[in-house]
């Protein structure tokens, strides 16, 4: 593919580290140690820090440097609500405008691929990556088909929250995945028939629901992590 600069590489690495929770919330990030860790000079590191600040992952104060922004369940839910509103809007616009043959084919393909991957009654671990890719393709195609580049830009930003990325999913419940893929069926149907309002409502609910699932997942995890210490 296309060659990437050190800046881009460092940005991606650092973003990944932050999204994975490598750093503590509020932890300060110093340029020089980061540069040494990444094996580059301060220049690409500074560009990466600036980039991630604008993407909303870092806090910054003039002459005082960068710190990892703190996120709570509240922020994650809000990000999903925003994403639901934005993707719902994109879905409506796409349905109103009508999709190109090519985009319709991509969506149809996504739906069919999902059917196939889920046909065994569960999602096999070796199919995880393909399912995830299918999901990303589905959503990005609709965003693109909306004809409004800004919507994609904004949605991408809602992924820049730890745990909120569309690459993160709760995989342990087949029922939930199945329902989610059923949403795709219905969204595809609504878009094909140019039922704009229905398409919008379906997409809103689809994304909102994913956020609720993730929220419960995180809260359950937090409960498990806390409980062992205390006892009744």
- Site residues (vs DNA, CB under 7 A): 3, 5-7, 28-32, 40-44, 46-47, 62-66
* From candidates 135, 141, 158, 180, binder to a copy of itself by CB under 8 A: 158
**Chosen from a copy of itself, DNA, none, partner binding at 42 (C-beta under 5 to 8 Å by type):** DNA
The least distance separating a copy of itself from the CB of residue 150, rounded to whole angstroms, comes to 5
**Contact partner, 150, from a copy of itself, DNA, none, Cβ < 5-8 Å per class:** a copy of itself
What's 70's DSSP letter?
P
Place of tokens 């800046």: 7
Q: Which does 93 bind (CB under 5 to 8 A by kind): a copy of itself, DNA, none?
A: a copy of itself
Residue 12, CB-side half-sphere exposure with 13 Å CA sphere: 5
Examine residue 74 and tell whether it contacts a copy of itself (CB under 8 A): yes
Contact of residue 187 among a copy of itself, DNA, none (CB under 5-8 Å per partner type): none
CB atoms within 10 A of CB 33: 10
Does residue 68 touch a copy of itself according to CB under 8 A?
no
Residue 68 DSSP code: E
CB of 160 vs a copy of itself, minimal distance in Å: 9
Query: Which of DNA, a copy of itself, none binds 58 (CB below 5-8 Å, type-dependent)?
Result: none
Cβ atoms of 108 and 188 closer than 8 Å: yes
**Nearest residue to 188 via CA among 136, 128, 142, 119:** 142
Exposure string (b/e) for 177-215, b if CB count within 10 Å is 16 or more?
Answer: beebbebbebbbebbeeebbebbbbbbbebbbbbbebbb
Given DNA, a copy of itself, none, residue 64, with its beta carbon under 5 to 8 Å by kind, binds DNA
Q: Is 147 in the site for a copy of itself (CB under 8 A)?
A: yes
CB of 97 to a copy of itself, least distance (A): 10
Helices (H), the chain: 6-19, 31-38, 42-54, 73-97, 101-118, 128-145, 149-158, 174-192, 196-226
> Cβ 153 to a copy of itself, closest distance in Å?
5
Contacts of 189 (CB under 8 A, 6+ apart): none
Rounded to an integer, what is the distance from CA 151 to the centroid of its chain? Answer: 14
- The one-character DSSP state at 100 is -
Contacts with a copy of itself by CB under 8 A lie at: 2-5, 8, 46-47, 50-51, 54-56, 62-63, 74-75, 78-79, 81-82, 85-86, 88-89, 93, 146-151, 153-154, 157-158, 161
């Amino acid at each position: 593919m296309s060659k990437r600069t050190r800046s881009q590489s460092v940005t991606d690495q650092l973003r990944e580290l932050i999204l994975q929770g490598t750093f503590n919330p509020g932890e300060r990030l110093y340029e020089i140690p980061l540069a040494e860790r990444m094996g580059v000079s301060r220049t690409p590191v500074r560009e990466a820090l600036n980039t991630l600040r604008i993407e909303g992952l870092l806090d910054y104060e003039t002459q005082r440097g960068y710190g990892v922004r703190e996120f709570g369940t509240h922020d994650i839910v809000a990000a999903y609500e925003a994403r639901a509103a934005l993707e719902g809007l994109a879905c409506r616009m796409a349905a109103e405008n009508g999709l190109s043959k090519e985009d319709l084919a991509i969506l149809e393909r996504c739906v069919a691929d999902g059917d196939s991957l889920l046909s065994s009654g569960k999602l096999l671990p070796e199919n995880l990556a393909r399912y995830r890719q299918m999901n990303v393709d589905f959503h990005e195609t609709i965003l693109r088909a909306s004809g409004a580049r800004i919507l994609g830009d904004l949605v991408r930003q809602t992924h820049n929250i730890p745990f909120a990325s569309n690459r993160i999913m709760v995989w342990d419940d087949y029922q939930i995945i199945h329902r989610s893929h059923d949403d795709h069926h219905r969204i595809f149907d609504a878009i094909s028939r140019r039922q704009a309002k229905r398409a919008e409502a379906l997409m809103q609910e689809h994304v909102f629901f994913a956020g609720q699932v993730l929220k419960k997942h995180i809260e359950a995890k937090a409960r498990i992590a806390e409980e062992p210490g205390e006892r009744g």
